[in-house]
Chains A and B, each alone.
Chain A
Amino acid sequence: MRIGFTANGRPVVADDVWEGESLLYVLRERLGLPGSKNACEQGECGSCTVYLDGSPVCSCLVAAGQVAGREVRTVEGLAGEDGLDPVQQAFLDAGAVQCGFCTPGLLVQTHALLERDPHPSDAGIREALSGNLCRCTGYEKIMDAVRLAAARRSTRTEVDG
């Protein structure tokens, strides 16, 4: 079947989509958006996290047909024209990327956390990221990165503000 939706602000169309196919497969294999990672295929790891109509979801658990006409934002859509999103820059600066496989999911989930709660507590960060697994176990650096991103965002908001 043919599926049309909006990916990172642009209309996209995927053809020959199998009816049981996941959104993750369509993104990676049909639309050239391999940023979202395929690991567990059962919602355990969070590596495939994308925004669907503004809510972070595991794209491996969304049937492709369900996104027809809807808006998807992937890790590729976080950076703006003026460079990386502050969350991405904070992950780089804090050394929160080891093998990097879990990073795209963590970036989207952290982005969503800070949109909802610009000043999260440590407990709030752990809860928000509880569905994203890092097999390198670099969780402390990831916590540092989220705190750094939150601090920078609030500074930026004050300057802009």
Chain B
Amino acid sequence: MEFLRPATWDEALTLKAELPQAVPIAGGTDVMVELNFDRRRPPALLDLGGVAELGGWESDGAVVRLGASVPYTRIIEELSGPLPGLALAARTVGSPQIRNRGSVGGNLGAASPAGDSHPPLLAAGRGVQVEAASVRGTRLIPIDAFYLGVKRHALEPDELIRAVRIPVADGPQQFSKIGTRNAMVIAVCAFALALHPDDRTVGTGLGSAAPTPRRAVEAEEFLAGALAEGGLWESGGALDGAVARRFGELVAAAASPIDDVRGSAQYRRHALAVMARRTLAWCWAEYGERLERSAA
């Protein structure tokens, strides 16, 4: 095995082009487990720890460009305002030690259906894009098109993740996750919800509920329609219980879960409906408070 330590992003791309089987490593919280347990013996590790720009983020006020290796701890501390859904999900990742190393770039590279970053990224709006780079150039992959299958993603073999571009939240966002305790939990299932008052849309993301993380498109359209129909975006008025129930049903229907050691398919569907209703109640309460504050 080789250990490659590029000092710059250009050097990292060159090395990846020369040896596409090299496995990128940043925080190591996924890659090292596979090495420690002899599950993987790549020809090379490509250590991205020396590439400074991956470890930073920038924002123009409309979009956050989150460097691939920014650890979850910093997302919680620095980005809870502009990216509340992702920051909430980040709080549930592993333990403090894991959050000091793990990153969204790593979650995307691993592309596990259980990755905690995926649901809030899917919910955060249609503008979420993965910035994939190679010596051939940079392309922006819409988040919906990034996940291809269990632990499979849309990156070409010579590409590396430079950053994720995420629209700054324009409304309330929530994240909910089922697990056996509050720490060190791989999600039994997870759900993220985002309200987008600017364009009157709703964003959702389901985790551990299908071969890939996915949106519940019908549920999004149903809820956005119900909010528009009742004039609720303007009034912030009370949500009909029937709307919340139907939203939960449509979220559960969007899943194609399996029975496994962490939970049954039936339980996952049930839990998704419950989480969808709860996160909707939390988001809607926050939305109403915001309207009141801005009116006052």
Contact = CB atoms under 8 A, between A and B. Distances in A.
B100 A56 contact: yes
B101 A19 contact: no
Interface string B5-31: 100000000000000000001011101
B41 A20 contact: yes
Contact of A43 (B5, B49, B73, B98): B98
Contact of B5 (A41, A57, A68): A68
Interface stretch (B32-40, B107-115, B166-174, B199-207): B32-40
Contact of A42 (B27, B36, B47): B36
Contact of B101 (A18, A62, A132): A62
24 contacts: A19-B3, A20-B45, A22-B32, A22-B36, A41-B37, A43-B94, A43-B95, A44-B184, A49-B97, A55-B100, A57-B100, A58-B29, A58-B101, A61-B29, A61-B32, A63-B3, A63-B25, A63-B28, A65-B47, A128-B96, A130-B95, A131-B95, A131-B184, A132-B95
A58 B41 contact: no
Contacts of A65: 3, 5, 45, 47
Given A42-B36, A43-B33, A62-B28, A19 B97 contact: no
Contacts of B27: 61
Given A130-B182, A130-B183, A56 B37 contact: no
A88 interface: no
A50 B45 CA distance: 22
B35 A66 contact: no
Interface string A106-132: 000100000000000000000110111
Contacts of A42: 33, 36-37
Given A20-B1, A56-B97, A61-B33, A66 B47 contact: yes
Given A19-B2, A42-B36, A109 B97 contact: yes
Counting chain A CB atoms within 10 Å of each CB, the highest count among B5, B96, B98, B101 belongs to: B96
- Which of A57, A62, A66 has the most chain B CB atoms inside 10 A of its CB? A66
A159 to B, nearest CB: 30
A62 B49 CA distance: 11
Contacts of A22: 32, 35-36
A124 to B, nearest CB: 11
Interface residues of A, number: 28
Contacts of A56: 96-97, 100
Given A20-B1, A41-B37, A60 B32 contact: yes
Contacts of B73: 55
Contacts of A60: 32, 36
A61 B28 contact: yes
A1 B3 contact: yes
Contacts of A46: 95, 97
Contacts of A68: 5
Given A56-B100, A60-B36, A130-B96, 20 more contacts: A19-B44, A19-B45, A20-B35, A41-B36, A42-B37, A43-B97, A44-B184, A46-B97, A55-B73, A57-B97, A58-B97, A58-B98, A61-B33, A63-B25, A109-B96, A127-B96, A128-B96, A130-B95, A131-B98, A132-B95
A63 B31 CA distance: 9
